[in-house]
Amino acid sequence: MLVSDILNKNNVLILDGELSKRQVLQLLAEHAAKTTQIDERILFEALLERENLGSTAFGKGIAFPHARVPNLEKLQTIFAKVPSGVDFEAEDGQNVDLLFMLISPETSGADHLTALALMTAAMKDEQKLSAIRATKDVVKIYDILTK
């Protein structure tokens, strides 16, 4: 599995403005609802429920909000850059500016874990992170993530 297998250019976002964690999760759910045919409220509640179990912040300004969702046909990811940063209650205390969201069908155990591992590996590359943080072009961000 490659990042290009789970992420498309239309699912790379830049979210401007001062946003809370709830607002970011809501915006991600709204965007995902457009392509999944799943009600945005269901998506938001699934993401929020998972986040309430413990922060999905990885540290170094990165978070991986994720959830398994009933009636979802296939795994979907959204990558979002939030230049102003968001308090995701990260253990390192750093605000999150890069989010890789994953929603998966309820029954997709192995694919869900594989996608999370792939996203985590992509976010460990310091050169990629610097390049993503330096640009405001979603196509360029997609190209960096899928190299």
- The residues that are catalytic are 66
On the CB side of 73, CA atoms within 13 Å amount to 6
The one-letter code for the residue type at 138 is: V
Distance CA 77, CA 12 (A): 9
CA separation (Å) from 122 to 2, 21, 54?
10, 22, 22
